[in-house]
Amino acid sequence: MERNGPGSYNYAYQYKDHLGNIRLTYMDNNGSLDIIEEHNYYPFGLKYKGYNDVVSANVNSVASKFKYNGKEFNDELGLDWYDFHARNYDASLGRWMNIEPLAEDYYEWSPYNYIYNSPLKFIDPTGMGPTDIIVENNRGEELGRIVLPGEDVVITLDTDTSVPEPIVVDPGIESDGESEGPGAVGLSFEYSVTLGGGFTAGTDIVYFLSGEDKGNAYVFGKLGATIGLDAEIGAAGTVSYFNEDANTDLKNAKGMEGNSAGYAAGFVVSGEYEWSNEDNAKGERYPGHKSTTTWETYSVGGGLGLEAGAKMFWNSSKILFGGPIFSTNEN
pLDDT in tens, 305-319: 455 567 788 899 999
Answer yes or no: do 234 and 90 share one domain: no
Residue 175 pLDDT: 45
Residue 45 pLDDT: 92
Average confidence score pLDDT of the chain: 78
pLDDT-based confidence at 231, cuts 50/70/90?
low
Dihedral angle at the C-alpha atoms of 134, 323, 220, 310, nearest 10 degrees?
-60
Residue 39 pLDDT: 85
Residue 318 lies in a domain: yes
d(CA 89, CA 328) in angstroms, rounded, equals: 25
Residue 46 pLDDT: 92
Q: What is the DSSP letter of 182?
A: -
* Residue 177 pLDDT greater than 60, yes or no: no
- 201/127: higher pLDDT: 201
Residue 230 pLDDT: 64
d(CA 169, CA 187) in angstroms, rounded, equals: 8
Dihedral angle at the C-alpha atoms of 101, 127, 155, 266, nearest 10 degrees?
50
Element (H, E) at 256: helix 253-256
pLDDT-based confidence at 329, cuts 50/70/90?
very low
211-236 CB burial, b ≥16 within 10 A, e <16: bebbbbbbbbebebbbebebebbbbb
Residue 75 lies in a domain: yes
| Domain count within the chain | 2
CB atoms within 10 A of CB 284: 20
Answer yes or no: do 149 and 240 share one domain: yes
d(CA 34, CA 27) in angstroms, rounded, equals: 5
Residue 329 lies in a domain: no
Residue 35 pLDDT: 83
Average of per-residue pLDDT across 126-152: 76
pLDDT in tens, 68-81: 988 899 988 889 99
Which of 82, 110, 126 is where one domain is finished?
Answer: 126
Answer yes or no: do 255 and 275 share one domain: yes
- 91/123: higher pLDDT: 91
CB atoms within 10 A of CB 82: 22
Range(s) of the domain holding residue 141: 129-324
pLDDT in tens, 22-58: 888 888 877 788 888 888 899 999 988 777 666 655 5
Residue 247 lies in a domain: yes
The whole-model pTM stands at 0.56
Average of per-residue pLDDT across 283-307: 78
Residue 187 lies in a domain: yes
What are the C-alpha distances in Å from 305 to residues 94, 151, 266, 290, 311?
40, 28, 11, 33, 17
What are the C-alpha distances in Å from 330 to residues 105, 210, 283?
11, 12, 39
Instruction: Give me the phi and psi of 68, to 5 degrees please.
Output: -65, 130
Which of 91, 126, 161 is where one domain is finished?
Answer: 126
Answer yes or no: do 13 and 95 share one domain: yes
Residue 330 lies in a domain: no
pLDDT in tens, 260-288: 998 887 654 457 889 999 898 888 998 98
Answer yes or no: do 157 and 186 share one domain: yes
